[in-house]
Structure 1
Amino acid sequence: MTYLRGFLPWIAYGAVAWASWQWAALLALVLGSVLLFMDRADGWSPSLRVLEYGSLVFFAGITVLAFFRPDSGLRVYDGALSSGWLALVTWGSMAVRRPFTLAIARRKAPPEVWRTRLFLRINYVLTAAWAASFTFAAAGQALVTAYGLGLTGMICIHVSTFVVPLRFTASYPERARARFLEKAGGHPYVQEARPA
């Protein structure tokens, strides 16, 4: 559930957009704002909330567009636009050395591992997996829409966009830790990395 929490605005938007583009965008914007406010109230640093701030920017823009231009031709591409924006945010989070998964992983990991090379490397790999998934989804959704390949294809792409990286996220950290311990001769010595 921890990984899905940051995507709740996107899930809400996807669930409601078929009925009302405008209200789906507004709902996602409000939900994203509430989640970010809750994180701030809990003391979580805003510097790692790249996904949350990126979501707010997207939904603010879509809300304005949807209410002022409800007949916009972009509406039919909202799935591809959503995935494309998520791809930009996730790739961008790596570019600014704040992989979006760090904020999520820090909720579960003890503070003493937050700056270790292994912890940072795992999060770069996980973020890259999510970014690749969103990139492929954006391309696939754009093609499905452009060629009118139907709702089934769109749903399959949308579901796999989250299922594949979620499964990878569930299994990769343990495999990476096991490989690290094997190379370290079974000693849990972890070298500290430079601050992210």
Structure 2
Amino acid sequence: MQKAAIFLGFVPWIVFSVIAGPSTWMWAALAAFLCSLVLAVPDWRRSRSISILDAAALLFFAVLVVLALVLDRAALQPIEDRAQLLSSIVIAVVALGSLAVGRPFTEFYAKKQAPREVWNTPTFKKVNRVLTGLWGGVFVLNALCDAAVGYLGASPDVFNWVVPVVAIVVAVKITSWYPEHAARQAREAHGAHEASAA
């Protein structure tokens, strides 16, 4: 599975996180919504399906854009104050929710890279459960960092930038390494099983 394929699914959320601030969150929501459209339309045209991340991004950022258009400034204040925290919670719930219902969100991206005959193998399923759990953990960590800044006055430089960036870099490296590692382990176990049966 190419790490770039999964990373593309995060682009709208990253765009929102980078741009969103007390006075810019509505523009961040619009930019993230447009990014979601750019990512989702080609998949939809090709296969009549989109990833759960793209679907969640389209819905979440469309709702934010509509709220920005219809509500007055006072009503929008809570959203302005916690826009990044809300986005972190939503993406964490989507990732862990997809794992809980047995449809890890990473499978959508993995199926673009892996041949159809491996889609139902135990190794393929295990890899996607592990990677979805890993990314879900990263999103939970990001939400906790946002909460620490918003409610506890923690350093924004450390908790909005350093910790999330380090977590994402580690997750990207694991995402790149783990599928081949798991496949190699499965091949070795299969070879050992055949040798013992001979």
* TM norm. shorter chain > 0.5: yes
The structure that has the greater radius of gyration is 2
Give per-residue Cα distances to partners, 1:80-139, cap 9 Å, x unaligned: 221111110001111222211001111111122112111111101100111111112211
1:27 to 31, 41, 44: 31
1:172 to 166, 171, 178: 178
Q: Do structure 1's residue 38 and structure 2's residue 39 form an aligned pair?
A: no
The total of aligned residue pairs comes to 186
Instruction: State the alpha-carbon separation in 1 of the partners of residues 45 and 137 from structure 2.
Output: 32
Determine helix, strand or coil for the equivalent of 1:149: coil
Instruction: State the alpha-carbon separation in 2 of the partners of residues 95 and 147 from structure 1.
Output: 30
Structure 2's unaligned 5+ residue stretches are none
Partner in structure 2 of residue 8 of structure 1: 11
Q: How far did residue 77 of structure 1 move?
A: 2.2
Determine helix, strand or coil for the equivalent of 1:37: helix
**Letter of the 1:24 counterpart:** A
Range with greater deviation from structure 2 (111-120 or 72-81) = 72-81
Determine helix, strand or coil for the equivalent of 1:183: helix
Structure 1's unaligned 5+ residue stretches are 189-196
Contact 2:32/2:61 (<8 A) preserved = yes
Contact 2:88/2:140 (<8 A) preserved = yes
Partner in structure 2 of residue 191 of structure 1: none
2:147 to 136, 142, 145: 142
TM-score of the pair, normalised by structure 1: 0.85
Q: How is 1:48-63 mapped onto 2 (pairs within 5 angstroms)?
A: 49-63=51-65
TM-score of the pair, normalised by structure 2: 0.84
69 and 29 in structure 1: CA distance in 2 versus 1, 3 angstrom threshold: farther
Instruction: State the alpha-carbon separation in 1 of the partners of residues 117 and 193 from structure 2.
Output: 16
Q: How far did residue 186 of structure 1 move?
A: 6.1
Percentage of identical aligned residues: 35
**Cα RMSD after superposing both structures:** 2.1
Which structure shows the bigger proportion of residues in helix conformation? 2
Contact 1:21/1:66 (<8 A) preserved = no
Q: Which runs of 4+ in 1 moved over 4 A?
A: none
